[in-house]
Amino acid sequence: MTPGPARMREEELRSLVVARVADLLGCPPEDVAPSATLSGLGLGSVQVLALCGDLEDELDLTIDPAVIGDYPTLESLGSFLIELRSADQGAA
pLDDT for position 87: 83
- What are the residue ranges in the chain where pLDDT is below 70? 1-8, 90-92
- Residue 43's pLDDT is 92
Q: What is the C-alpha separation between 70 and 55, in angstroms, rounded?
A: 17
| Domain covering 10-91, topology | 1.10.1200
Domain ranges of the chain: 10-91
Which candidate, 40, 42, 2, places its Cα nearest to that of 19?
2
**In the prediction, which pLDDT does 90 show?**
67
- Whole-model pTM: value is 0.83
> Which of 90, 84, 91, 92 lies closest to 61 in space, CA to CA?
84
